Amino acid sequence: MSAQEKDGRVVDSGRVWTTLITNTKYLSGLLTLDASLKQVGSKYPLIALYTDTFPAEGHAALERRGIPKKRIPYLLPKIPKEYTNDPRFYDCWSKLTPFSLTEYDRVVQLDSDMLVLRNMDELMDVPLDGPELAGKGNRVFAASHACVCNPLKKPHYPDDWIPSNCAFTTQHDSPDAAQETGAPCHAGLAMPNGGLQVVNPSQGIYDLIVEGLAGDQTINYDFADQSMLGDLFSGRWVGLPYIYNALKTMRWKGVHDAIWRDSSVKNVHYLLSPKPWDETEEDKAKESRDGSHHWWWVVNDRRLAAEKEKGIDDGF
């Protein structure tokens, strides 16, 4: 048995990117995310964290491309909240798993609907509390803020999700600084966005999360994992600049275009629908189409061409 197998690692690296995959709807996103990390020259591998809901054809697709994978439990709270309007949140609890991956020194969790435009390996060196602090320190994890502007005016979102309560709004007067410095973790509604989390895995932190999942507060968490993280570790996480989790909606005029700069963004997050890979050729020709989707297609088309040369053509 190799040292790698003995310590539970599925890759020979103490620092890794991870992404959750529960079904094939997001598989094209995951494959293009992996391709984008490689294209920008990241030194670190991406591991697909899969649950038992992930089907055989998905496993085959990962194996064809040599993407390492690891089975994880499907996390759900003891007292479930109804997410009829946003069923994606049922899967989101499992994004808390990276805190438990103590075989690695540093895990950066990415959503599968992200695209890395520029190398961001420096996230592997962001100073955080050591595992021995077990979640009791002041730098438990790092993340960008959630945007609480609700630009689509979704009626089921909380009433306090308005631009004046958004952490990014506090940076509109200092756009240069916003490219390099995140708003403090207590700014705005003080909620991290769960799409990117920088973590020093710790059994102590994970125990607090498991305890939280077993408690009665989860019924109040409108946004699943990120609501829990903001609550459990209030005022004790590190706010990253938007460039590492650049929500596509922030680029829209009147949202946070005051700070958004295409030339600074390192990682785009294609939250909400439609996803780029769900677009038809007709959709791509529409003037109303989100312009940031073009970036995804450039990388995806490059990926597909390279895979075809290797004889990989499975529709993902």
3-state secondary structure labels for all residues of the chain: CCHHHHCCCCCCCCEEEEEEECCHHHHHHHHHHHHHHHHCCCCCCEEEEECCCCCHHHHHHHHHCCCCEEECCCCCCCCCCCCCCCCHHHHHHHHHHHHHCCCCCEEEEECCCEEECCCCHHHHHCCCCCHHHCCCCCCCEEECECCCCCCCCCCCCCCCCCHHHCHHHHHCCCHHHHCCCCCCCCCCCCCECCCEEEECCCHHHHHHHHHHHCCCHHHHCCCHHHHHHHHHCCCCCEECCHHHCEEHHHHCCCCCCCCCCCCCCCEEECCCCCCHHHCCHHHHCCCCCCCCHHHHHHHHHHHHHHHHHCCCCCCC
Q: 185-222, pLDDT tens digit by residue?
A: 999 999 999 999 999 999 999 999 999 999 999 999 99
Q: 228-244, pLDDT tens digit by residue?
A: 999 999 999 999 999 99
Distance CA 230, CA 240 (A): 14
Q: 94-115, pLDDT tens digit by residue?
A: 999 999 999 999 999 999 999 9
Is 315 contained in some domain?
no
Q: 248-280, pLDDT tens digit by residue?
A: 999 999 999 999 999 999 999 999 999 999 999
Is 316 contained in some domain?
no
Is 314 contained in some domain?
no
Is 313 contained in some domain?
no
- On average, the pLDDT of the chain sits at 95
pLDDT higher than threshold 50 for residue 3? no
Band (pLDDT 50/70/90 cuts) for residue 8 is: confident
What range defines the domain where residue 149 resides? 3-308
pLDDT higher than threshold 70 for residue 6? no
pLDDT at 29: 98
pLDDT higher than threshold 70 for residue 1? no
User: What average pLDDT does the segment 298-313 reach?
Assistant: 98
Distance CA 61, CA 27 (A): 9
Phi, psi of 271 (to 5 degrees): -70, 165
Answer for the pair 116, 196: CB distance below 8 angstroms, yes or no.
no
pLDDT at 77: 93
Number of domains in the chain: 1
Q: 23-74, pLDDT tens digit by residue?
A: 999 999 999 999 999 999 999 999 999 999 999 999 999 999 999 999 999 9
Question: What is the domain-level CATH number for residue 125?
Answer: 3.90.550.10
pLDDT higher than threshold 60 for residue 161? yes
% pLDDT > 70, the chain: 98
In degrees to the nearest 10, what's the CA dihedral of 170, 174, 176, 178?
A: -10
Q: Which of 3-12, 139-148, 257-266, 301-310 shows the lowest mean pLDDT across its residues? A: 3-12
Distance CA 194, CA 142 (A): 10
pLDDT at 90: 80
Tokens read off for 291: 């312009």
Is 254 contained in some domain?
yes
Is 172 contained in some domain?
yes
Is 22 contained in some domain?
yes
Sheet of strand 267-269: strand arrangement: 114-116, 267-269, 246-247
pLDDT higher than threshold 90 for residue 290? yes
Band (pLDDT 50/70/90 cuts) for residue 89 is: confident
pLDDT at 4: 47
**pTM for this predicted structure:** 0.96
Is beta strand 46-50 parallel, antiparallel or unpaired with respect to 238-239? unpaired
pLDDT at 85: 75
Q: How far apart are the first and last CA of the chain?
A: 34
Band (pLDDT 50/70/90 cuts) for residue 5 is: very low
Is 229 contained in some domain?
yes
Q: 74-86, pLDDT tens digit by residue?
A: 999 999 788 877 7
pLDDT higher than threshold 90 for residue 128? yes
